[in-house]
A and B are shown apart, each in its own frame.
Chain A
Amino acid sequence: MALWWWRRCCCCFSRAPAFGSLRSLLEAAGPRLGCGPCAGRAAGRAEMHYFLGRSSVLSFPKIRSIFLRFHHTTTSRTCSCSKTVTDEKYKDPFKLGRKDLKNLYEDIKKEFLVSTAELREMCEYYFDGKGKAFRPMIVVLMARACNIHHNNSGEVQASQRSVAIIAEMIHTASLVHDDVIDDANSRRGKMTVNQIWGERKAVLAGDFILSAASVALARIGNTTIISVLSQVIEDLVRGEFLQLGSKENENERFTHYLEKTFKKTASLIANSCKAVSILGCPDPKVHEIAYQYGKNVGIAFQLIDDVLDFTSCADQLGKPAAADLKLGLATGPVLFACQQFPEMNAMIMRRFSLPGDVERARQYVLQSDGVQQTTYLAQRYCHEAMKEISKLRPSPERDALIQLTETVLTRDK
């Protein structure tokens, strides 16, 4: 379903006239973003925002305020049908989800039935309780929001909690492999698995985490859930392949980038949200809401991640800054900056491989409004996520998910 949309978008996109990438990007995003009756209006606004945004870098705060106003009207529209929401509205999403995530890492470690101490140590390495547990958090909140929506049930089912665990395991397995692929040395402020134990063992550890996740997935005993989460594994690999190649055409480059972002980051969140919604509620409409929420938040999350690669320092990130450029990757900020500084094209094409390319590209990005444009795009995805989740019956968890879209945008690490 989602892929179908993507393909369609890609089709629209390749046919779109090449004037101003952001504009065609927004047009391409149009059908995806606008699935309600207000689609046309939203698209219109988007275009307006775009033109406002283009007039000068300084006008960015203005767009943001317009955006926020829009954001709040939507919230209040949905609020009108509820009574309790306003008090709970600014509840810290992380606080609310935490009770379900107690012992999360202990439970993950129980999945590793390994006889060799070293392999176990490698598998458990990233489950040290120091990660953000961003994915499990969204998943349990979504589980609760769907359960309440369906029959006012205040409990998280064991199977739903398993999905949260599996999501974190799949994510970690992919991190371990990514670090081998990228030859990375540090992550979350510590050495990577490959740095400590070598690439050969690291790859095996990643495979083992994945197999443990699959066993846990099978034990849920629901073939639909298995299919939904298997899709994630396929997307992760395909996303990694997309990252290998680069496109010459500017427009294609952006679609390529967004598709990669969906597959590498958003698919996991979208499909695990969908999985818990299936377990909690039989209504396919709710499954679609959960999926769309996860997808949009996921893309926004990654867009901000790509921004932070330029704006944060290594200490905050727990990994080296400008890491993407060093890997030869042109992310959102670079692609936007390239519109203002076409001389970046050559650098993108050679994947920043000449000496000085990385620093020069970084300077271009910081001089351009690439960072703001990317942030703005992330806001649009967050807005869409919020719109989706607001269709569910009000609950503290639903509101926490709304709040979480804001947290995604304002995080600094």
Chain B
Amino acid sequence: MCPLLLLRLGGCCSRLLLLRPPPPGLWSGRGGGGGGVRWRRGLFSGSPSAASHWSKVVSEAEKIVGYPTSFMSLRCLLSDELSNIAMQVRKLVGTKHPLLNTARGLVYDSRNNLQMRGLVVLLISKAAGPGNTAELSFQHDMVSGIYSSQRSLAEITELIHTAFLVHRGIVNIGELKSCDGLLKDMQFGNKIAVLSGDFLLANACTSLAQLQNTKVVELISSAIGDLVQGIYYDNSNLSEQNCLTHDIGISTWKEQIFLSHSALLAKSCQAAMELAKHDAEIQDMAFQYGKNMSMSHKLHSDLQPFIKGKSSDSVAFSLNSAPVVLHQEFLGREAWIKQIREAQNKGNLMDFTKLQEAIKAGKGVTSAIDLCHYHGNRALEALECFPSSEARSALENMVYAVTRFS
């Protein structure tokens, strides 16, 4: 069966699993709730691995938002176009087009496929509660404390995110080595990737229009623009793979990561508040949560290759990840260039293990951990404006999960 069809089934299954009772003691077992500083101490304690902890937090949180929701709407899943895409993607099996991996990732990659963005939008909607509106019809629209417009928004957020996962994987035909069969496959893969990404985006646009709120349309549209710019930076940094990256510095890094990783979630959270007619202050707090939580999330995943005990299995890391950028900043450009040269073997191949050791020895890693905690704290502060609730705790737990390093 082709990946995108699996995606349909996969989506259902993972949600059916949610109906199981929660593992006992999960809430009590979290890495220190309440205090904003306490959990820092537990950084390297021997509790379950960060990834599995994150999955637990997320699957617990999914229960809070009510009936199992697959973020790909039924209308979208049942459309001719999607089955068409699925059919076409199948033709790509056996080729090296990145679209295949993206599709596979959507199905199998449990760490990134938790549809985290949509879930956060739903949780924050629930945490904020009913808005300042007297319209009764509006109130009736709520299921599990979330308006249907907010559920749509969560879905739109996921559609956009997925569309760009697909559009990220376009191949530059001109850069391919001349091998006829391969070229044809790649052209075909590109065609399907452009089309399927556009299809998801178009669905997002029409759903967005149905929300009947011009401010929300503007926010989300601008988030799409941010995302494009962010991916654009990501790509231009990536193009110099295995060699010297731009000397960007951590503040530029933060700006770029905001665009590529945080803007969509931040603006979606804000838009969810706007849909419930919450005031500007609440909207800003929701934005801050979305922004800082996703920054922490990104820093957390950037840090994984540099965390104790993990060096053996995961060596691959990006020269554009936060610890490396910070390391370079501490070291100075010239010393960094020297380190890179030292790590380069004959034939310009990078010895990543060697480089990794050098980075671990520097201050970049701890400084990235601090930055991760800083954003985590900012996210937690933003949540203080919401009354305490199950949903708010779930949002807090997500922050704890992405600021734990064990």
Interface residues of A (CB under 8 A from B): 113-116, 119, 177, 180-181, 183, 194-195, 198-201, 203-204, 207-208, 210-212, 214-215, 217-223, 226-227, 230-231, 233-234, 236-238, 240-241, 244-245
Query: Are A211 and B222 in touch, CB under 8 angstroms?
Result: yes
Given A198-B172, A227-B209, A208:B198 Cβ within 8 A: no
Of all chain A residues, the one with the shortest Cβ separation from B217 is A218
Cβ contacts under 8 Å, A219 to chain B: 214, 218
Stretch at the interface among B13-21, B62-70, B189-197, B336-344: B189-197
Instruction: Return 16 A-B CB contacts under 8 Å, by A number.
Output: A180-B190, A199-B173, A199-B190, A204-B231, A207-B228, A210-B201, A211-B228, A214-B221, A218-B215, A219-B218, A233-B205, A234-B205, A236-B202, A237-B81, A241-B80, A244-B195
Of B80, B191, B232, the residue contacting A204 (CB under 8 A) is B232
Given A116-B233, A181-B195, CB of A208 within 8 Å of CB of B228: yes
**CA–CA, A234 and B198, complex, Å:** 9
B88 vs chain A, min Cβ distance (A): 7
Main secondary structure of the interface of A (DSSP, over half): helix
Complex: how many Å from CA A225 to CA B229? Answer: 27
- A231–B206 CA distance with the chains assembled, in angstroms: 7
Q: Is the CB of B228 within 8 A of A204?
A: yes
CB distance from B121 to the nearest CB of A (A): 19
Contact present for B224 and A238 (CB under 8 Å): no
What are the interface flags for B209-239 relative to A under an 8 Å C-beta threshold, 1 for contact and 0 otherwise?
Answer: 1101111011001101100110111011000
Residues in A with CB closer than 8 Å to B187 are 183
> With A and B bound together, what is the CA distance between A331 and B170 in angstroms?
28
Complex Cα–Cα for A192 and B394 (A): 49
The answer to whether B113 has its CB under 8 Å from any CB of chain A is no
> Given the complex of chains A and B, what is the CA–CA distance between A374 and B81 in angstroms?
29
Chain B: which residue is nearest A116 at the CB level? B232
Would you call A234 and B212 a contact (CB within 8 A)?
Answer: no
Contacts A180-B190, A200-B170, A236-B202; A215 near B81 (Cβ below 8 A): no
- The residues of A that contact B330 with a CB separation of less than 8 Å are none
User: Is the Cβ of A214 less than 8 Å from the Cβ of B170?
Assistant: no
How far is A214 from B214 in the complex, measured between Cα atoms in Å?
10
Q: Are B224 and A214 in contact (CB under 8 A)?
A: yes
Is B317 located at the chain interface by the 8 A CB criterion? no
Q: Measured between C-beta atoms, what is the minimum distance from A161 to chain B in Å?
A: 18
Q: Does B327 contact A (CB under 8 A)?
A: no
Contacts A177-B198, A237-B195; is A244 near B170 (CB within 8 Å)? no
Once A177-B194, A180-B190, A230-B208 are accepted as A-B contacts, the answer to whether A241 and B202 lie under 8 Å apart by CB is no
B241 vs chain A, min Cβ distance (A): 14
Chain B interface main SS type = helix
A227 to B209, CA, bound (A): 5
Shortest A278–chain B CB gap in Å is 14
**Contact at A238–B81, with CB atoms within 8 Å?**
yes
Partner of A215 from B205, B225, B231 at Cβ < 8 Å: B225
Provide the residues of chain A in CB contact with B235, threshold 8 Å. Answer: 200-201, 204
Residues of A within 8 A of B194 (CB): 177, 180-181, 203
Closest-CB distance, B138 to chain A (whole angstroms): 16
Interface size on B, residues (CB 8 A): 46
In the complex, are the beta carbons of B228 and A181 less than 8 A apart? no
Name B's A-contacting residues (CB within 8 A).
80-81, 84, 88, 164, 167, 170-175, 187, 190-191, 193-195, 197-199, 201-203, 205-206, 208-210, 212-215, 217-218, 221-222, 224-225, 228-229, 231-233, 235-236
What residues of B have a CB within 8 angstroms of the CB of A218 in the complex?
Answer: 214-215, 217-218, 221
Q: Which residues of B contact A180 (CB under 8 A)?
A: 170, 190-191, 194
Output the nearest chain B residue to A114 by Cβ-Cβ distance: B229
> What is the bound-complex CA distance between A194 and B190, given in angstroms?
12
B228: chain A residues within 8 A (beta carbon): 119, 204, 207-208, 211
On chain A, the residues within 8 Å of B236 by CB distance are 116
In the bound complex, residues from chain A placing their C-beta under 8 Å from that of B167 are 203-204, 207
Cα A220 to Cα B215 in complex, Å, equals 10
A201 to B201, CA, bound (A): 17
B202 touches A233 (CB 8 A): yes
Across the two chains, which residue of chain A brings its CB closest to B173?
A199
Contacts of A211 in B (CB 8 A): 221-222, 224-225, 228
Rounded to whole Å, the gap between the CB of A196 and the closest CB of chain B is 10
B201 with A207: CB separation less than 8 A: yes
Closest B residue to A240 by CB, please name it: B195
Q: In the complex, what residues of A have CB within 8 A of residue B231's CB?
A: 204
The interface residues of chain B lying within 8 Å CB-to-CB of A208 are 225, 228-229
Q: Given A204-B232, A208-B229, A211-B225: A223 and B209 within 8 A (CB)?
A: yes
Contacting pair A119 B218 (CB below 8 A): no
A177-B194, A215-B222, A230-B209 given as contacts; is B199 within 8 A of A237 (CB)? yes
Nearest-neighbour CB distance to chain B for A181, whole angstroms, equals 5
Q: Bound state CA distance, A217 and B206, in angstroms?
A: 13
A-B contact sample (7 more), CB < 8 A, given A183-B187, A233-B201: A115-B229, A180-B190, A198-B173, A200-B172, A208-B225, A223-B212, A233-B206
Q: Tell which of A180, A200, A219, A221 has the most Cβ of chain B within 10 Å.
A: A200
* Cβ contact within 8 Å between A119 and B224: no
- On whether the beta carbons of A221 and B214 are closer than 8 Å, the reply is yes
B221 adjacent to A215 (CB under 8 Å): yes
Residues of B within 8 A of A234 (CB): 202-203, 205-206
A199 contacts across to B, CB distance below 8 A: 170-173, 190
The 8 Å CB contact of A226, one of B190, B209, B229, B233, is B209
CB distance from A187 to the nearest CB of B (A): 16
Q: In the complex, A226 Cα to B209 Cα: how many Å?
A: 6
On whether A203 and B81 interact (CB within 8 A), knowing A181-B194, A241-B195, the answer reads no
Centre residue among B232, B233, B236 by max chain A CB count within 10 A: B232
How near does chain A come to B116, taking the closest CB pair, in angstroms? 22
* Chain B minimum-CB-distance residue to A177: B194
Q: Is the CB of B172 within 8 A of A217?
A: no
